[in-house]
Amino acid sequence: MPDVDVLVVGAGPAGAVAACDAKQAAPGLDVVLLERDRAVGSPVRCAEGVGDAGLREFANPDGADWAARKITKVIFLAPDDTEVLVAERGVGWILDRTRFDAHLAAEAAAAGAHVLVGAEATGMSRNRRGGGDDRWHVRVKERGQDTVYRARVVIGADGVETMVGRWAGLDTRVPARDMESCAQYVLQGIECDPDAIYLQFSEAIAPGGYAWIFPKAVGVANVGLGLVALKTDGRNARQYLDAWVDRRFPTAARTGYTVGGVIVHTTIKKTYADGVMIVGDAAHMINPLSGGGITNAMKAGRLAGTTAAAAICAGDTSERRLAAYHHAWMELLGEDHLKYYRIKQALESVDDEFFNKLARTVNKIPAEKRSIGRIFAHALIRHPQLIPVAARFFV
Amino acid sequence: MRRVTPDTIAVVDLAVCDRCGLCLPLCPPEAIHLELNVLTVDRAACTGCEKCVGPCPVGALAMVAYA
């Protein structure tokens, strides 16, 4: 039975950073990073967009092979296809997640963490009677064989499925209204600005969510949408996407597709238990307004990795000690997500005609003076019921 | 506590399922499992609430008569 100090389940951005930072914080610890799939970073279930500032806290995208495209513009598309260009500086990047996740896992390995691919955690249990061994026993299936790992701290970075949280007795369930069903194609041979991301909000195209075009190269983009099933006309996400792509890019070649869920909720009430921390998508640490989760996941991974290292070195991995991770996350971003969630709820009351009118009004502002803040101000004038929400958000 | 047997329960079409895991946290009794790349619905635990059916991005889940 292999004994480890920190066992990280899931080698996405959250898990890889957690493993790397735990090892760097306490080089004497045994840190193991498990990946269920045969390759880290595959299959890609992501639109691959990330903000510049958040990314740079963890990796330098300049010239990196895992950065597919630098993005300098955001174009909002009204439901009637009116384009609104928003001027921003150093907006962000479209990643190549296959390479990016491999890069982060390699960093963890370079720090001394042990990376295992094709290794799936299938359950875990713990002797709760007190006294003696209180470590978690995690069953891992690898090449058809079961191995039980004994771990002082288990970090659950297992994404939307969030099984580690379930096994640890935490409530990681999601109400249906807070689950975005997403589908995406990689399209080749399309005409769009390769330096811009496009976001289209429309009840007819993506009810309760939005549709996106994220360029990966000139003429190549991730084209997808996320929607809330409760608001649809009965079609599923892929059927909505087919309709949108048929209309907008009828001649494009579809060279790949992916589907998945994005939890647009707020952080789970409790992200920790004795010897357990849950990070990233698994803990619902996604920005509920944008659906973005990559940098959030890495930030949470950093907090969890360093908390795990310090707890083990202090000989106390109880939930009382690990609660520090939860509080640090809530202070860093968790509280902000509660505000974003309220804005998301308020935006649910506006209809397509509102967005069409807003787009035409905002386009009268000179392009260089348009910012998200100004657009929001115009939205408030047109839609006074948003004012209390905005007041809560900005105060 | 005795569990009332539902009239219908969820089943997955594995030929359509993409193994994305979206349905797992939607299931109130946590009856859906994804292990070794196969999605399964625990028919003894499924309460027939249908919360997993609509959100599936590819329509791989459906309700069938409990038999």
For residue A116, give its domain range: 3-45+98-173+266-337
pLDDT tens digits for range A22-72? 999 999 999 999 999 999 999 999 999 999 999 999 999 999 999 999 999
- The yes/no answer to whether this complex scores an ipTM above 0.90 is yes
Do A287 and A322 belong to one domain? Answer: yes
Residue A148 has pLDDT above 50, yes or no: yes
Residue A113, chain B, CB below 8 Å: the answer is no
Structure confidence at residue A367 as a pLDDT band (50, 70, 90): confident
Do A31 and A115 belong to one domain? Answer: yes
pLDDT tens digits for range A340-354? 998 888 888 788 988
pLDDT tens digits for range B1-44? 446 788 999 999 999 999 999 999 999 999 999 999 999 999 99
Do A126 and A169 belong to one domain? Answer: yes
Do A90 and A205 belong to one domain? Answer: yes
Please state the rounded mean pLDDT for residues A205-217.
96
CB atoms within 10 A of CB A137: 16
Do A29 and A165 belong to one domain? Answer: yes
Do A90 and A140 belong to one domain? Answer: no
Phi, psi values for residue A70, rounded to 5°: -85, 135
Task: Specify the CATH number of the domain B8-65.
Answer: 3.30.70.20
CATH number at residue A321: 3.50.50.60
Please report residues of A whose CB lies closer than 8 A to that of B57.
Answer: 181-183, 236-238, 259-261
pLDDT tens digits for range A24-36? 999 999 999 999 9
Distant-in-sequence, close-in-space partners of A335: CB < 8 Å, separation ≥ 6: none
Please report, for chain B, the start and end positions of each structural domain, with discontinuous segments joined by +: 8-65
Residue A138, SS3 per DSSP: strand
Domain end point (choices A216, A248, A263): A263
Number of independent structural domains in chain A: 3
Residue B2 DSSP one-character state? P
Torsion of the alpha carbons at A258, A116, B32 and A288, rounded to the nearest 10: -60
Please state the rounded mean pLDDT for residues A270-281.
98
Residue of A nearest to B29 (CA): A173
Residue A191 has pLDDT above 70, yes or no: yes
Residues A209, A228 contacting (CB under 8 angstroms): yes
Do A221 and A325 belong to one domain? Answer: no
Mean pLDDT of chain B: 93
Q: Which of A47, A283, A334 is nearest to A161 (CA)?
A: A283
Q: Write down the pTM of the prediction.
A: 0.94
Q: How far is CA A191 from CA A71, A218, A249, A359, B16, in A?
A: 16, 8, 8, 22, 31
Residue of A nearest to B17 (CA): A259
Residue A238, chain B, CB below 8 Å: the answer is yes
